[in-house]
Chains A and B, each alone.
Chain A
Amino acid sequence: MKYLDEYRDGRVAAKIVAEIRRVTTRPWTLMEVCGGQTHSIVKHGIDRLLPAELELVHGPGCPVCVTPLEQIDKAHAIARTPGVIFTSFGDMLRVPGSQTDLLRLKSAGADVRIVYAPLDAVRIAQDNPGREVVFFAIGFETTAPANALAVTRARALGVDNFSMLVSHVLVPPAITAILQTPGNRVQGFLGPGHVCTVMGYREYEAIARHYRVPIVVTGFEPVDLLDGVLRTVRQLEAGEASIDNQYSRVVDRDGNAGAQRLIWSAFEVCDRKWRGVGTIPKSGLRLRYELHDYDAERRFEVGALETREPAECISGQILRGLKKPHDCPAFGTRCTPASPLGATMVSAEGACAAYYAYGRHREAAAP
């Protein structure tokens, strides 16, 4: 496919690796922010192509992973409600709450449906006027415009049997939280390319300046990721700390102004709890006051929920780059994608699940 295949070219990748080796003189720790980047790095073994001085730690950019247990349990309580059609992106279906997951609820008779686009959930509501249709609106800034479109469209078309359970998260407050963590090891960031197609990278300029840390907006293909590493290392070696844009074919400084207006027409900033990490101030989005009628948390009384999270899980430290999957004694044994203990194992974009999917748990066990 055009604009994908050429960024998977092994010949070009080898040239970048050679250049990274040439410019690296000291040890550096870099974090890729986005879960899609983590997945691509582990899948293509990009971390293993790098010189020993460079370590990649994996960031919190997996919205499925960080959706708090309370919201997942609420989703399950709503999906169980008679008459409800519960719609969700496919990634959420296997994510365990305190008691069950959406896939198990579906096989037990709940009407749970996967949608590709949030607008499809509005269409399902139009086609089923006698039923309540709820959409589980999760994601980062990348997904926020599409989710905002669904709820504003439902209101414009008078689709009153549609509502959303919102658990949106924002990237810049998470990066700031990582940089403020005692013992932080991250010295440079590969910035979230697709988040920046929407938001641009102005917000990241202040972070780079204030914390003296290079941030390179980076794409998702092997050549993009290696180029992002090269640009970050060049800055670190030169003692620079600024924003660079590796992903200029789709990202500019200002982002998509229309998509941003759409986000703010539906959502407002709120404090948000991140699974494994805890509450990060001003790190989430919730529905604006004018759209409260479409808020599933108001429409459905789910009562008090008691959440249970295994104490053994170290995903909070993994999500902040303090530890890696192999540092966890449960990784690949008591904790697997089929039976996850916590955030970073629940989605294919979580660091633990990516390591597991590409066989790295077996290497850990080998002598």
Chain B
Amino acid sequence: MDWQALLLTIRLSALVAAILFVISLPIAYWITYSPWRWKFLAEAAVGLPIVLPPTVLGFYLLIALGTRSPLGHLWQSITGHTLAFTFQGLVIGSIIYSLPFAVQPFAASFAAVDSRLIAASATLGASKFRTFREIILPLSKPGLVAGMALSFAHTMGEFGVVLMVGGNIPGVTRTVSIEVYDQVQALNYSAASITALVLLGISFSLLSLVYALNRRVFAAWLWK
């Protein structure tokens, strides 16, 4: 078992889930409440990583992170090194790759908040921001936790994007899923099976949490 790879994967997933939480809240809010008629295009763009082959996404990311792109160029002029094949590059790639797994549960749970409660909050003098913070967010807790768990699990399981954007550098960009691939390539099946089992266990636990939150009985503790 490559503990270094596991720790790296957990660090990556936790960081990505935390950043996704912050950026997905306004995106999901906008998707839920904006009256803009073309917003379905934005929704489709956010959802792209679900259907796009990871290699395609990874390819575009690699170009976007490269030194010839504005982002890659800016990064290099500030930090002195490139974004591609670094942990930071992996974080950016994973954020985009897992974006729909945070935004969609968030948006679904915002949309499920009774619009009368939002109207009531406004008639009681609360601004939109206060209504969001005190009514919409607390009532969306199960969806928020589900979105966090899903984006964490999805980041843990990514392979194609990591390989394209991060490469396979031990301790820097070598995640658990790549380690499994390496071990299989090396016909090292017993090591691969242990790593695979750990990944399976973590993923199953996280998905169990997500589905448990869809049942009121288990969601109830979040309300307290």
Q: Do A and B bind each other?
A: no
